[in-house]
Amino acid sequence: MTFTRNRIFSLGTILLVLFSRGLALADDGYELWLKYRTLDNAVLLSHYREAITSVILPGESGTIQIIRDELKRGLDTLLGAGLRFSASEPRGNALVLGTPASSAIVRRLLREGTLHSLGSEGYLIKSVTSSKNRLIVIAANGDIGLLYGMFHFLRIIQTRQPVVHLDIFSSPRIRYRLLDHWDNLDGSVERGYAGRSLWKWDALPEKIDDRYRDYARANASIGINGTVLNNVNANPAILKLEYLRKVAALADIFRPYGIRVFLSVNFSSPTSAKFEQEGNRKGGIGNLDTADPLDPQVRRWWKDKVKEIYRLIPDFGGFLVKASSEGMPGPQEYGRTHAEGANVLAEALKPFHGIVMWRAFVYDSSVDPDRVKRAALEFVPLDGLFYPNVFVQAKNGPLDFQPREPVQPLFGTMARTPLLLELQITQEYLGHSTHLVYLAPMWKEYLQFDLFSKGPGSTLASIVDGSSRTTDMTGIAGVANTGDDRNWCGHFFAQANWFAFGRLAWDHSVSAEQIANEWIRMSLTSDSGSCATISSIMMDSWEACVNYMTPLGLHHIMEVDVHYGPGPQHDSGREDWRSVYYHRADSAGLGFDRSSTGSNAVGQYFPPLRSIFDNLETCPEKYLLWFHHVRWDHRMNSGRTLWEELCERYTSGTDQVHGMYGQWLSLEGTIDPEVFSHVKNKLERQVIDAALWKDTCLSYFQHFSRKPVPGQR
């Protein structure tokens, strides 16, 4: 079709009229929680406009320019009026941003040492009244702190909070706050449910996708300061010069947002690829015939490779390593320990202040018959032998990101080694990008779990943030749920889990409900009634998922390989991947006996947890079938038998999902129609899936219990 100038003008006029009537384009989810829409509350809008008549921001660094652009984009839209930006003295009420080095105003207003405790990333937001004007000051020791403070201030506006009497001091509780991308060089994503990889390796470094900056911007807005670009099942090619130049291009984009790049590396990288062809072991990109960490040639190879990386990326963060696990090569091939393997990399990185993150996800069946015990048995004897710049990176639980697990005991038993907590944002075992499951309540349960390693109060949070260890080698990583889908995460509500991970990584004391309410108001609606309904859906969703998938401590009974639907009957392949290995259903009862008379996994916990978990009567029912094989007629706290309670939990889980669906339907007309339809379709599938989990599992377990399902004829 050919358009004349008049027809184009007419189309533009029509669109202008539509927008002037408030009919905006549908929300496709691309903007994440950084939606800036003019406030519809006239009183609040007047309050904000009176409080901010200009913005004072000195400096010209790349980060300062990002701050300036974001404030203009955000405030001009939120307040519906253009603000004057300058680097000089304020006129009227103003927003002032600066460091003691860049701003005379900040130096005058703040006493010496006020910012000292905030470090390089912290900030303050403070209301200051003088005889001439009222100021809102965002101050930090450096530009990155200002960036974080700026995003916090915009969050205040987005969530409709007052800006008078502000007195906020904020600094991260954890030093390394990372996303781990399980992205492959061919563009696929392992355990990814939102399309293909964000990284377009074939186009880099010449072509820079705008999405890279949007990714960095989103991460900076929630305080994430590092990204591991590639899969832990690492392709050695990532260390080739051609790929390092591509990585350097991404690092250049991320740097002004305060984000450092890290790489997963294959332990066999120093070896020649010919060894892969010969079938001896996975080959690398080097020219050596060994990757033995005690071989001088191997140590030299890693040192030379690290120097090459830092010439291209001066602020490179370090390496993530999966070794001697699931077929990935490692030091044990050479009779060496995990510590010896990690230390050869740490030695190469130390002069550049880089770190090693050595994963503890190992489960050699020769170590112990009970898979959940193996990581501790392999790593605890090595406590204190790792170099100071090495993290042992452990998953939240001792198995594998199940809907619910007790905390990995390594966090209590490795007292002399920095431990980095690995969480999974992508929903590998919790319904992929189909099920609405808000993960912050789960993460809070783990963080608040008391390991008693130094007596009461030895929570996982205190170990991860170093407060019970007095160390600044602290870290947390989330396995990312992003992909190239337009809405980033496949499910609109999965964005909330990315957001929640960043907020908890910065400050794990924030409640899951507060984070949910922030995300709702920033992403969906500011209507208080709708917010309450959506918050209820989110806050109930994880417990609902546990109930319709794996209640009462059941675990690892999903479909093999895809990890999506129910598979309690699975009984093939490796023993420690079979569902029957974990649930151990028989005519007597259900559950894995990890008590002191069973596998004694309880022995890896400190008192009093050890005795609490060991006793069938005191073990929390949410972990009951994790630690005990329980008779079908055992009386539960509710007075029901185990079988009746199992039926009740599966039924309540499906009922909860039906309730979530009904609550969502009640929001029609108050939520963007595209978002509403997208979530409605997902919930319809979740209702079907929850029923399938319930029917499949109860039908299977009924063969052993030989008892009727209550209410079923």
Report the alpha-carbon distance of residue 192 to residue 428 in Å, rounded.
8
Q: What is the CATH number of the domain that holds 63?
A: 3.30.379.10
Q: Are 219 and 516 in contact (CB under 8 A)?
A: no
Q: Are 191 and 182 in contact (CB under 8 A)?
A: yes
On whether residue 606 sits in a domain, the answer given is: no
On whether residue 307 sits in a domain, the answer given is: yes
Give the predicted TM-score (pTM) of the model.
Answer: 0.95
Reported as half-sphere exposure (CB side, CA atoms, 13 A), residue 542 has a value of: 20
Report the alpha-carbon distance of residue 559 to residue 565 in Å, rounded.
5
Give yes or no: residues 205 and 342 share one domain: yes
Domain residue limits at 130: 26-170
- Bridge-partner residues for 355, per DSSP? 318
**Torsion-angle region of residue 335: left (phi > 0), alpha (psi -120 to 50) or beta?**
left
Q: Which pLDDT score is estimated for 232?
A: 98
On whether residue 650 sits in a domain, the answer given is: yes
Farthest-apart Cα atoms in the chain, separation? 85
AA letter at 505: A
Q: What is the CATH number of the domain that holds 585?
A: 3.90.1330.10
Secondary structure, 3-state, 485-551: CCCCCCCCCHHHHHHHHHHHHHCCCCCHHHHHHHHHHHHCCCCHHHHHHHHHHHHHHHHHHHHHHCH
CA distances from 534 to 427, 493, 517, 527, 571 (A): 20, 10, 9, 11, 40
Give yes or no: residues 160 and 223 share one domain: no
On whether residue 100 sits in a domain, the answer given is: yes
* Catalytic position from the list 428, 614, 645, 672: 428
Q: Which pLDDT score is estimated for 86?
A: 92
| Domain boundary pick from 485, 509, 533 | 509
Q: Which pLDDT score is estimated for 292?
A: 98
Q: Which pLDDT score is estimated for 5?
A: 38
On whether residue 491 sits in a domain, the answer given is: yes
State the 10-residue block means of pLDDT for the chain, 713 residues long.
Answer: 39 39 70 95 94 95 98 96 87 92 86 84 93 90 98 98 95 98 98 98 97 98 98 98 98 98 98 63 88 98 98 98 96 98 98 98 95 98 98 98 98 97 98 98 98 97 93 96 98 98 98 98 97 98 98 97 96 90 98 98 98 98 98 98 98 98 98 98 98 98 96 73
* Catalytic position from the list 186, 326, 559, 571: 326
Give yes or no: residues 431 and 481 share one domain: yes
AA letter at 660: M
Give yes or no: residues 446 and 554 share one domain: no
pLDDT digits (tens, 9 = 90+) for 325-375: 999 999 999 999 999 999 999 999 999 999 999 999 999 999 999 999 999
| Domain boundary pick from 170, 189, 210 | 170
- Bridge-partner residues for 94, per DSSP? 54, 135
Give yes or no: residues 359 and 254 share one domain: yes
DSSP 133-182: -EEEEEEESSHHHHHHHHHHHHHHHHTT---SS-EEEE--SSSEEEEE--
Q: What is the CATH number of the domain that holds 272?
A: 3.20.20.80
Task: Find all residues with CB under 8 Å of 698, minimum gap 6, and list them.
Answer: 646, 647, 650, 709
SS3 671: coil
Give yes or no: residues 73 and 196 share one domain: no
| Closest C-alpha to 358, from 247, 267, 227 | 267
Asked if 684 is an active-site residue, the reply is no
Report the alpha-carbon distance of residue 143 to residue 596 in Å, rounded.
54
Q: Which pLDDT score is estimated for 3?
A: 38
Asked if 428 is an active-site residue, the reply is yes
On whether residue 613 sits in a domain, the answer given is: no
Q: Which pLDDT score is estimated for 25?
A: 60
Q: Which pLDDT score is estimated for 282?
A: 66
- Bridge-partner residues for 135, per DSSP? 94, 128
Domains contained in the chain, number: 3
CA distances from 658 to 662, 675, 709 (A): 6, 19, 20
Give yes or no: residues 147 and 191 share one domain: no
Give yes or no: residues 184 and 66 share one domain: no
Give yes or no: residues 332 and 440 share one domain: yes
**DSSP E strand boundaries for 294-359:** 318-321, 355-359
Asked if 575 is an active-site residue, the reply is no
Give yes or no: residues 189 and 314 share one domain: yes
* Catalytic position from the list 400, 422, 465, 614: 400
| Domain boundary pick from 146, 170, 194 | 170
Give yes or no: residues 137 and 247 share one domain: no
Q: Which pLDDT score is estimated for 21?
A: 35
Q: Which pLDDT score is estimated for 1?
A: 37
AA letter at 9: F
Give yes or no: residues 143 and 265 share one domain: no
On whether residue 516 sits in a domain, the answer given is: no
